Structure 1
């Protein structure tokens, strides 16, 4: 089973110290987030993660995208939403450069925040009726489609984060159509991350045009029920990112084994369990102390290695 992350990592900034750094800063060329990306990448590799992220260090999952699209002023919608230029590509390429220098086998995933989740998190002041306006959702999807097109030649997996879907606030048909706009015809494996309670909506999630569904199981044991019905590969969240305690290897291992036992009875899986499951944390780790985040990843990787797949 491959190990991965949901995305974000604690942000460690480094102010300019050297003379060269200070000169770069004067000319607006110093990027204080480069060190945060380096730390995120190196920690993930040191922990043993197979498919890493760039750490999503430049802001929360919504503002990373709204500040890079036309039509937004911060988290306010002031006009028609449109793509301007790639938002995450630069950091993905930087993360890949660092990763390849450390371990050529490590892969970097692309991550975008889904159209419904972005729409749900902004205040509409112009052009659209409100943040549930399907035209807003679709325009965000069209912009994200161009973002995906910029990433497709550089990453093997692109994850779409749609946590809002577990709340029932958005129509599933609209949400599904929006995701279809993003992924249609793109030759990359797509995952969709939905945290929260999903055991009542798994039939709807199975209809989305992605090959991996990623959910939280450590902080939400009831979600284990979906493993009998899921029709995609599984992103198995097995460490609780809401608490600052580092779970033991045995604790994580026990949860993974419990999930695999259920999956053995799933009639929809056409591949072996090893090929059907990605092991990862429940959600992003941005708000955790960095030593706790690293400890969770390290123990998660160790636990996944100890699990025997029959």
Structure 2
């Protein structure tokens, strides 16, 4: 059972020194560099196997719309096109820090999905509205180019599509958009969809991804999908909506409950531990830094306990 994160981490900024302020005057100061360092160090120290760069530069929409042609903030003012790599620089920085702390740690690439970006912007030009197929596909084409750059440096790429749990977007269009991003690329893809997904699992099973990642701590009803899911499972087991830290026993109990249900899944029950990734329910950006760290630490401890107990039975 590999441990990972969904993506975002609390943003911590250091107090600016005199030299930082001088750098800022010349446009050389990166106010988010320290936040990336903190996110990486905390994730590695917590024992996470596949970390993120923390997604510290804004919300999951702005990180991408701020760097694509055709957007002005969250306003669509023209045809959407890729300009330059968006997250690669931060991924490389995170990877360099992580390797110094633990050479075995890997870094994942994370992009926000085309339907979720489309749903979060105001269309003022070129497209009809934020459900226009052409808008969704053009965003997907731009993200494809981002992924082509990212894949050189990461072991897995996660596509965040939380909007799919709302039913607001057509699944056929969403699948075509994901295909644009992932087709013929030799790397594993995960798709994260938070919220209640127990009514749409058959639709999600049809997506061309290797892993479906969902919330199980804050949405216990989602446990129902584990008998019918056809992809590897990203198992969200700590609630990122609450500021209390779950105990190791609480997390362990939930993971064990999930594993018991997965034993009934004919597609996944042969290699249970290889078919499940352990992670938080969602991003942790809004949590206090100590809470986020301790949630991750307890999650890793719970996972190690389960693996240890399983090994002792062999």
TM-score, length of structure 1 as denominator length: 0.98
Deviation by residue 1:32-83 (Cα, 9 ceiling, x = unmatched) = 1000000000000010000000000000000000001000011010100000
Q: 3-state DSSP class of the match of 1:257?
A: helix
Secondary structure of the corresponding residue to residue 303 of structure 1: helix
Cross-structure match for 1:173: 172
Structure 1 partner of 2:23: 24
Equivalent in the alignment of 2:48: 49
CA drift of 1:268 comes to 1.0
Whole-angstrom CA distance in 1 between matches of 2:18 and 2:43:
27
**2: CA distance, partners of 1:92 / 1:161:** 17
- 1:33-112 equivalences under 5 Å are 33-112=32-111
Is 1:8 equivalent to 2:8 in the alignment?
yes
State the Cα distance separating 1:272 from its structure 2 match.
1.0
Distance 2:79 2:269 in 1: 43
Q: Give the equivalent residue in structure 1 for 2:142.
A: 143
- Distance (whole Å) between structure 2 residues aligned to residue 294 and residue 102 of structure 1: 16
* 1:159 positional shift: 0.0
Please list every run of at least 4 consecutive aligned residues from structure 1 whose deviation after the TM superposition is greater than 3 angstroms.
none
Question: Where does 1:257-272 land on structure 2 (aligned, <5 Å)?
Answer: 257-269=256-268, 271-272=270-271
**1:123-163: CA deviations, max 9, x gaps?**
10111100000100000000000000011110010000000
Residue deviations 1:183-230 (CA, integer Å, cap 9, x gap): 001111000000001001100101000000000000000000000000
**Structure 2 Cα separation of the partners of residues 283 and 51 of structure 1:** 15
- Indicate conservation of the 8 Å contact 2:48/2:296, yes or no: yes
8 Å contact 2:215–2:281 — kept in the other structure?
yes
- Please report how far the alpha carbon of residue 18 of structure 1 lies from its aligned counterpart in structure 2 after TM superposition: 4.9
Q: Deviations over 1:269-310 (max 9, x none)?
A: 275111111000000000000011011000000011111447
User: SS of the residue aligned with 2:191?
Assistant: strand
1:15 shift after superposition: 4.0
- 3-state SS, counterpart of residue 235 of structure 2: strand
Aligned length: 309
Whole-Å separation in 1 of the counterparts to 2:254 and 2:269: 23
- 1:219-298 maps to which residues of 2 (within 5 A)? 219-269=218-268, 271-298=270-297
1:130 aligns with 2:129: yes
Structure-1 separation of matches of 2:139 and 2:40: 28
Q: SS of the residue aligned with 1:272?
A: helix
TM-score w.r.t. length of structure 2? 0.97
CA contact (8 A) 2:262 2:269 kept: no
Q: Secondary structure at the match of 1:296?
A: helix
1 CA distance for matches of 2:169 and 2:117?
A: 12
**CA contact 2:263–2:269 (8 Å) conserved in 1:** no
RMSD: 1.0
Aligned to 2:76, the other structure's residue is in SS state strand
Counterpart-to-counterpart distance in 2, 1:186 and 1:106: 23
- Give unmatched runs, 5+ long, in structure 2: none
